[in-house]
Amino acid sequence: MSLAIEAHQRGLIAHGMQGFDYAAIKRDLHIPDTFTVEAMIAVGKPGKIEDLAPDLQEKEEPSLRKPLETIVSRGKFNFQ
């Protein structure tokens, strides 16, 4: 969470991932057996939808998350 917030503050995107090959990551990055891979996070600059392949452009859609103003309050509690 802190990494995602810091990335956002710097104009970057942080995207946590799962379902990758943990053993391959350890092997390919030469991570010693005394360490365990627990997570993978990609950090980068936001791109343009036009730069994506057409099939990936079709998958891009707005988030279904609630708008922040419906779940975050500043100052006095002001939700109805």
* Tens-digit pLDDT profile for residues 16-31: 988 899 999 999 999 9
pLDDT digits (tens), the chain, 80 positions: 899 999 999 999 999 988 899 999 999 999 999 999 998 999 999 889 999 999 999 888 887 888 888 888 777 776 66
* Residue 32, domain member (yes or no): yes
Q: Would you say residue 54 lies in a domain?
A: yes
Return all residues near 57 (Cβ < 8 A) that are at least 6 apart: 49, 50
**Residue 27, in any domain of the structure:** yes
- Tell me the pTM: 0.57
Domain span at residue 18?
A: 2-61
Task: Confirm if 12 and 44 have CB atoms less than 8 A apart.
Answer: yes
